[in-house]
Amino acid sequence: MNICKNLMPTMRQLDGFTKYCRASYFAFIHSSPNFSVEVHAPDQEVVIALGSNVGDRLHNFNEALQLMRKSGIHITRHGCLYETAPAYVTDQPNFLNSAVRAVTQLGPHELLGALKKIEKEMGRTDGIRYGPRPIDLDILFYGKLRVSSEILTVPHERIWERPFVIAPLMDLLGSTIDSDTVACWHSFSMHSGGLFDAWEKLGGETLTGKEGLKRVLPIGEGFWDWSTKTSVMGILNLTPDSFSDGGKFQSVEAAISQVRSMISEGADMIDIGAQSTRPMASRISVQQELDRLIPVLEAVVGMPEAEGKIISVDTFYSEVAAEAVSKGAHIVNDVSAGLLDSNMFRVVAGLKVPYIAMHMRGDPSTMQNSENLKYDNVCKQVASELYSRVREAELIGIPAWRMIIDPGIGFSKNCDHNLDVLMGLPNIRAEIGSESLAMSHAPILIGPSRKKFLGEICSRTAGTERDPATVASVTAAVLGGANIVRVHNVRDNADAVKVCDAMLRQRKSVSPS
């Protein structure tokens, strides 16, 4: 779904803002090396592009962001992460590209100096133009101002011809205009539809997912392009009281056998949980959860069959998340999106692993009470509440390129709400996209497996009798845009996912766009 294209009427907001911007921006003058005039105010909002294709590219990004913060550049938003083919000089490794929005009191030339210093500290040397480099930092926008000097031009003069720059720049916007500064950025494109038009004229979303411009999420030692296929996440419950399979896999031997079976049936990911989050579940302590989790996690990580598979830990405790990642888990899956542990965002930011943020109101003991089941528009409110959580996580230091979102089927929702969410995934993406296109592009996880609402619809009391209904709900979710499905029965759902992916590929192949 092309969110920008579908919400283009919001660009009418540009008209008044554009007039204001054209009347109010200042030019920076730097007519000679010995004379300069620079006018700037405190707290300017800026956009900085990042690129790297030498060494550990992701580590280079992390280090650059850290050095930027130390230099007085407060990062507020992150674009998605892109693996891109080199431009201009093509005989070199692929790049990672992204961009950030930030606030700084540095003037434009001071900012340029700070970025050049970071590049030098990270090992960049003078070489061939557009050649390999450990880090490349470019100022795309500086407040509502244009800059023109011998050493700096803002907006960056080659933005409009570079998809690998425009794509992450678009991620930093919402489909609605959130400030007059953003409206000015749109006006700088010289298109009537602003930056949205500039992006569409380059090819827009049709460019992503191809070899030259892949949107990726870093997991473990590699990068995951979730556009190529829907991933199947197999559930491993280590709890005695889970609603579907409680008590079955508490021993290490039984757990390993189940993981081996799920992998053989087509699981791409294994989600290990040692704390029950069913309605009215009693909470266990951090230590109890670790005692259940760690022996099994260590055994799973050591399985030859698990090589190349993604291991997720299902926990809302930051201490459990940290210990699990240290033992080999790749992802933290938090049903509370940080609400049940105030340290979770900060810990995950430090762990530098992907984070699954799920929508839930209250906690497992209160999530199904009457107050938490009140919605006027469930998709709109789920999107808004989930976005508020991932926005806080981003401000604390978890980049958008590490986020996975889960609307929380069965959590603080009744049967009708769950159906609305399953059928409304495009609406949830669009609603999040009004605030942040980066977050709207994040992988969506859906977990309807064997849940109570399926039993209510099909009159199936036992969880294990709800597998056909699960397949139906998974099918709807994948066709609606889900990227990961979390299931108990891997074999049947993996087949359903393959058929859905084939249908989606066929739809793309015959689409006029």
Same domain as 285, residue 206: no
Given pLDDT bands bounded at 50, 70 and 90, which one contains residue 91?
Answer: confident
* Residue 258 sits in the same domain as residue 347: yes
- Give the global pTM: 0.91
Closest to 195 (Cα-Cα) out of 59, 328, 50, 11: 11
Across 104-122, average pLDDT:
96
Q: d(Cα 160, Cα 83) in Å, to the nearest integer?
A: 19
**pLDDT confidence band for 278 (50 / 70 / 90):** confident
| For range 291-302, the mean pLDDT | 96
Three-class secondary structure of residue 342 per DSSP:
coil
CATH number for position 424: 3.20.20.20
Q: Which of 174, 192, 215 is the last residue of a domain?
A: 215
Q: Is residue 276 part of a domain?
A: yes
Give per-residue pLDDT as tens, 198-221.
Answer: 999 999 999 998 878 999 999 988
- Are residues 264 and 204 located together in one domain of the fold? no
Shared-domain flag, residues 187 and 244:
no
Examine residue 10 and state whether it is found in any structural domain, yes or no: no
**Could you tell me if 488 and 464 lie in one domain?**
yes
Q: pLDDT band at residue 491, thresholds of 50, 70 and 90?
A: very high
Catalytic residue among 215, 451, 452, 466: 451
Instruction: Give residue-wise pLDDT tens across range 395-441.
Output: 999 999 999 999 999 999 999 999 999 999 999 999 999 999 999 99
Q: Is residue 1 part of a domain?
A: no
Q: Where residue 203 sits, what CATH number does that domain have?
A: 3.30.70.560
Domain contains 31: no
Confidence of residue 14 (pLDDT cuts 50, 70, 90): low
Mean pLDDT of 374-397: 97
pLDDT at position 244? 57
Express each pLDDT in 431-488 by its tens digit.
Answer: 999 999 999 999 999 999 999 999 999 999 999 999 999 999 999 999 999 999 999 9
Indicate if the pLDDT at residue 178 is higher than 90: no
Are 237 and 311 part of one and the same domain?
Answer: yes
Rounded percentage of the chain residues whose pLDDT exceeds 90 = 78
* Shared-domain flag, residues 262 and 323: yes
Beta-bridge partner residues of 160: none
- Between CA 9 and CA 222 the distance in angstroms is 39
Within a domain: 202: yes
Residue 222 domain flag? no
Q: What share of the chain is helix, strand, coil (3-state, %, to 5)?
A: 45, 20, 35
**In angstroms, rounded to a whole number, what is the distance separating the alpha carbons of residues 72 and 1?**
37
Compute the distance between CA of residue 334 and CA of residue 313 in angstroms, rounded to an integer: 8
pLDDT at position 493: 98
Tell me the mean pLDDT in the region 141-169: 92
Q: Domain range holding 132? A: 44-215
Place of tokens 């995951």: 224
Q: Domain count for the chain, please give it.
A: 2
177 shares its domain with 239: no
Same domain, 380 and 447: yes
DSSP 154: E
pLDDT for residue 432: 98
266 shares its domain with 198: no
Say yes or no to pLDDT of 31 above 60. no
**Last residue of a domain, which of 183, 215, 247?**
215
pLDDT of 508: 83
pLDDT of 280 reads 76
Mean pLDDT of the chain: 90
pLDDT tens-place string over residues 122-133: 998 876 677 688
Q: Band the pLDDT of 251: cuts 50, 70, 90.
A: confident
Domain boundary among 180, 215, 250: 215
Out of 144, 361, 389, 486, the active site residue is 486
In this structure, the answer to whether residues 305 and 193 fall within a common structural domain is: no
Q: What is the pLDDT of residue 243?
A: 53
The amino acid at 312: S
Average pLDDT over residues 174-191: 91
- Per the domain annotation, does 15 fall within a domain? no
- Whole-angstrom Cα distance, residue 332 to residue 313? 5
Of the ranges 165-169, 252-256, 509-513, which one carries the lowest mean pLDDT score? Answer: 509-513
pLDDT for position 116:
96
Mean pLDDT within 57-71: 97
> Domain for residue 2, yes or no?
no
Active site residue 451: yes
Verify that 312 and 175 share a domain, yes or no: no
